[in-house]
Every structure is written in structure tokens, then in C-alpha cells.
A and B are shown apart, each in its own frame.
Chain A
Amino acid sequence: MIPVELGTEKIGKLLKQYATPAIIAMLATSLYNMVDSIFIGQGVGPMAISGLAVTFPLMNIAVAFGTLVGVGASTLVSILLGQQDYKLANRVLGNVVILNVAIGIFVTILSLVFMDPILYFFGASENTITYAREYMVIIMGGNIISHLYHGLNSVLRSSGRPRLAMNATILAVVLNTILDPLFIFAFKMGIQGAAIATVLAQIVALVWVTRLLMDRSHVLHFSRDCFRFDWKIAWRSLSIGMSPFLMNIASCFVVILINNQLKRYGGDLAIGAYGITNRIGFFFFTISMGLNQGMQPIAGYNFGARNWERVKSVLRLTIMCSMIAMSLGFIVAVTIPGVAVSLFTHDPELKAIAARACSITLLMFPIVGFQAVVTNFFQCVGYVGRAIFLSLSRQLLFLIPFLALFPLFLGLDGVWWSLPASDAVSSIVAFFMMRRLMRNFGKNEKPVLENA
């Protein structure tokens, strides 16, 4: 539902109100990924961190399959709850479980059977494959848990209990942070310990979410007859979820390309270094993403209400905050890359490569802060095509040619430089697209919100 206060309350207050929970949830997710990297880097060694970095695309693909169900189902649930169609909403809930288990089993079997070829394709080598495999076999073994947890948590969120959903995420992060050192250091289980800790944390979070969804006092809850498979629900969920799924797959594809270029020009440690910088960069990027999520309803509503001044002012404020957050990342990368990197490793060689990678790849972060907000803005006011173009331009369209060309002249540095170069070009494109939109603001009274 759209609260009308979006059109009247002070922009700064609204943004704070909407962005804060989003930022917290985003940071929790980012920390979740970071914790494993830190403990594995510190407790197991530099090759292990490279092995872990090789698994990122595979983990993301697994998550993408989970999103395929989760996003669609939570959209359906919120539509149905809006219509007080509780019976059908509960049926969707039951079908989330069925679909997640079915897809989860499919992904698990496929990835376990083809584990080695997949990991080699994603950039593993003889030195790193053992670590990657040890980690991934356990993670993929717990894949169904992970799918169910993510899927049910997003349904929980859309059923009007975002705070509880956020708590579940935080619970998983905290548990993982406690269990990681326990299994890696105390039980001396190495990289497998980190994987076990991750799966255990998700099991607990899943149990907690499931318990919340058993609560019969809430309209959305499990019941015996909600577990009947429904083609219509399945098809609808999957077709809605197809979009984020494809975007996720596209970005995994890019990481695979990057990993392979890194392996070719810099070897295993370069992949590990990328894993580290990726984690660092992503930490700051999540703040921007949280801000973006907070901006969406505010910009969307006021755009719909044709209140241009408010649209502009929320846009301006979000861009400013996002650029500040991303600039923090930039400052860290340029001034103290060694310190940031030493969170993850003490190996001097890996540290040197990672510090250099960090100081190059995060160079354009301040303007990426701008680009990300603009991309998101185009999406939430309905210029979906442009939003997708902008998003793909940074991660795919400009990146791939740079990634292919730069290393020919610069070697390993070329791989690093391709990232900020792509950031820069796509930010420039975003700037011009934004300027054109701003010029036409208010002049063009034709409705522009595409049906979605």
C-alpha cells in the first residue's frame, strides 16, 4: 500500500525512515558474505581464499535459483494479501516450499555431479580446486536449506513483517560469525568448517522463520492443505522471478570472465585478491543499494503525483548520500588499502596484489554512487528499459570489451583497470541520460510509467 505521507512529509525524514532498514538488511547480507572470507583468509590461508573466490559465481547462481521462486512468490503474496485473499496467499506460501525444494534438489544434484568441471570453468586451478570443492560440496549439500530460508524470508517480509524478516537475516549473520571461528580454529576443520558454519546458521534461521510462519494468529501461515502443488502459482511465481534470475545469471557470467582473465594474467592469487576487493567494494556498495531501496517508494509516489520538486529533491538527497557512502570506500581504497586487505589475509604476496587491486578497482566509486542512484531512479519512475540498459552497461556492455582488451597491453593491471573504466563510461552515459530526463521534467505530461 502507498501511504499518502510520501507526498507530504519532509523528504529527509522519509528517506531516513525508508532507507535505514534497507541499509541494515543490505549490510547484513554483505557481512554474511564477508565473514566467511575473513575467517577463511585468516584461518586457512591465501590459496583457500582464492579457492573461495572461485566459488562465488556458483554460489550466486545457486542464490539466483532461490530468487527465482522467492521474488515471484513474495510479489504474489503481497498482491493477494492486499485483496484479503488469504487462502490463496497461504497456498502460495505452501508452493514456495514445494518449488524451493524441487529446484533446490535439481541444483544440488547438478552441481554436485559436475562440481569439478564447473569450478575449473569458473577459474579454479590444481592449487585451488581442493579448497573450492571442499567448501562447495558442503554449501551445495545445504542448498535446499538456503533456498527455503531465503524464499520463506522474502515471503515473510512481504506479508507485512519486514522487521522480523530483517531479524532473521541478522540472526544468520551473527550465528555465522560465532560459528565460523569455532569450526575453523577450535575444531580445526579448515575451509569445510566455514561451510558447515554457514549451513548451520541458515538452518537455525530457517527454523526461526518457519516457526514464525506457523503462527496461526497471523493471516499468512502454514496449514496442511496449503501444500498442494498449483501450476498456476508456480508458473506465475517463476515468470515474475525470471527477471532478477536472469540479471543474477548475467552478473555471474561476468565474474566468470573476470576470474578467467585473472587466472590467465595473474594466477590464483589474483583471483583471491579479486575476491577480497570485491568484498570490500561490495560493503560500501550495499549502503548505496539500501539508500536506493529507500528512495524507491518516495520517488515513485511523487513522480506519480507529478510533484516534480519533491522528486528532484529526493533524487538529489539520495545521490548525495550515496556518493558520500561510496566515497568512503574510495578513501579507504586509496589511502589505506593495505589495512583493509589485512582483514582478510596476512600473506604478504596476496596482500600486495589485493591492495593494488583495491586501489585501482574502487577508483570510480564516488561516481558509481551517482550511477547506481540514477539507474535505480529510472527503474522506479518506470523507465525500466533505460534502467536495465544502465545496469547492464556497467556490469556487462562496457566491461566485457575492456576486460578483453586492457590486459593485452597492461597484463594483470589491465584486468583491474577494466572495472573502473567501465564504471566511468557507464556513469557518463547515466549522467547524460539523467540530464535529458531532467530537462523534460514536468514538460512532458504524458504518462510514462510503463505497466509493470
Chain B
Amino acid sequence: MDDKVLITVGRQIGSGGLQVARLVATEFGVEVYDKNLLMLTAKESGLAPEIFSERDEKRSALGRFARFIGIRGSVYADTGAYSDTGNLSGDDLFALQSNVIKTIAEKGSGVFVGRAADYVLRDNPRLMSVFITADTEDRIAMVMEREHLSEAEAARFIADADRKRASYYNYYTFKTWGDGASYDICLNTSRFGLETTAELIARMYRQCRF
């Protein structure tokens, strides 16, 4: 199985990480797994896809508030008992999704975007993990165009999305999202452009010592 290709791509919003991932996948002729992972997980578990997409990489403010004031333990506070709730929580969905990612990685190749896949696959010997960044101005420009936002709105959108991704990643991995030490490579698309970034990643993967 030496020709197996497993790359995970973490990315700041507006950095072009998804496009880079697609280019890399085309280069190797393998599948890109991003949002479609949710559909796969849903199919695997028998759950409705939308409950995944709602939680996807978001740990919403409401959810955090709920977590803070009551979802975890028993609502019946007068018990003094330690409840072991079986709620269908974000934790369960993350576990389901992780299993899907692992299964795919065991069977074949793929480029995985987000979903803390680098952590999920950390023990896979064929894995190379990448984190894609871009300069703030470029990210703002990209988000403005894609989401049809003003500059100020885009800046807020980015800050918000970064915070959510970091919170999701840090919660499940005990690592720090975007921290260079967490990844094999960090690349800035503002320096290299999308195509070159993808080429670099592909070349590095071929020379990677596993």
C-alpha cells in the first residue's frame, strides 16, 4: 500500500485551503473529503445529515452557554447522583465522523479538509498534515467576494469563523488550532499562490519520509 496518499488540510477561512486541497487531490487522482464526510457519516449512522451540518465545526455560542449551565450532567440536580447521560451530543457525532475518516484512510487514499482529521489520523503512517494560511488582507478580499460582504463584515466573519474552528479543533484534540508545531507543513497562499502551494504540497508528499 505504498502508493496510498493521505493528506489532511487545516485552513484559515479565506485562505483558499479548500481549493488547494482540490488541486492536490487532482494531482494525485484521489478524492477530497470535506463537507461530503457529513453525508457519509450520516449514511453510516442512520442519522439525518442536517444534524451534522448544523454542528459541523461550529461550537455555537448557544451551545457553549447550554454546556455551561446544564447539558452535561443530570438536569435533576437534587439527586447528587453522577449521571452518565446518553444524549446524542456533538461528542457522539465527532466520534462517528472520526470513525468514517479512519475507515476511509484504512481502505484507500484521500485529502481531508478540516474536521480535525490530522488528529483523527495521527497514528496513520502515511499521513502528512498541512495547515494553510493567508495574509489577512487577502483573506478579507476572498471572503468579501465569496460571501458578498463589506470589508468590516468580512473581517468580523473571519474572526468569528476562526474562533469557531479553533474552539472545535482545540476541544477535540487538546492541541492548538493553527499552531505550527501541530502540523507537518504550514503554508501561506499569499506567498505562493494557490497552484504553487498545491504543487509544493504534492512534491513534499512524494518526498515525505514515512
Interface residues of A (CB under 8 A from B): 1-2, 4, 7, 18, 25-26, 29, 33, 59-60, 63-64, 67, 70-72, 74-75, 78-79, 82-85, 88, 150, 153-154, 157-158, 162, 232-233, 236, 239-248, 250-251, 255, 282, 285-286, 289, 292-293, 296-297, 300-301, 303-306, 372, 375-376, 379-380, 382, 384-385, 387-388, 390-391, 395, 445-447, 449-452
Contact = CB atoms under 8 A, between A and B. Distances in A.
A29 B79 contact: yes
Contacts of A250: 77
A398 to B, nearest CB: 15
A186 B161 CA distance: 67
Contact of A296 (B53, B64, B85, B171): B85
Interface residues of B, number: 52
* Binding site secondary structure of chain A: helix
A233 B171 CA distance: 11
Interface in B3-38: none
Contacts, number: 199
B77 A2 contact: no
B86 interface: yes
B72 A244 contact: yes
25 contacts: A1-B96, A18-B86, A26-B79, A71-B82, A79-B172, A82-B94, A82-B98, A83-B120, A241-B72, A242-B68, A243-B70, A246-B70, A255-B78, A293-B86, A296-B85, A296-B87, A304-B88, A305-B48, A380-B86, A385-B66, A390-B75, A395-B78, A447-B53, A451-B60, A452-B90
A251 B92 CA distance: 29
Contacts of B64: 451
Contacts of A158: 84
Contacts of A85: 174
Which residue among A25, A150, A450, A452 has the maximum number of chain B CB atoms within 10 Å of its CB?
A452
B74 A2 contact: no
Given A67-B82, A304-B88, A450-B62, A72 B50 contact: no
Contact of A71 (B45, B63, B73, B120): B73
Given A293-B84, A451-B55, A379 B75 contact: yes
A84 B79 CA distance: 32
A150 B82 contact: yes
A60 B68 CA distance: 20
Given A83-B172, A449-B54, 17 more contacts: A1-B92, A63-B80, A64-B80, A78-B91, A255-B78, A285-B76, A289-B79, A303-B88, A304-B88, A380-B85, A382-B88, A387-B70, A390-B75, A395-B78, A449-B55, A450-B63, A451-B64
B63 A372 contact: no
Contact of B95 (A1, A26, A153, A247): A1
B83 A4 contact: no
B1 interface: no
Given A72-B72, A243-B72, A2 B88 contact: yes
A99 to B, nearest CB: 15
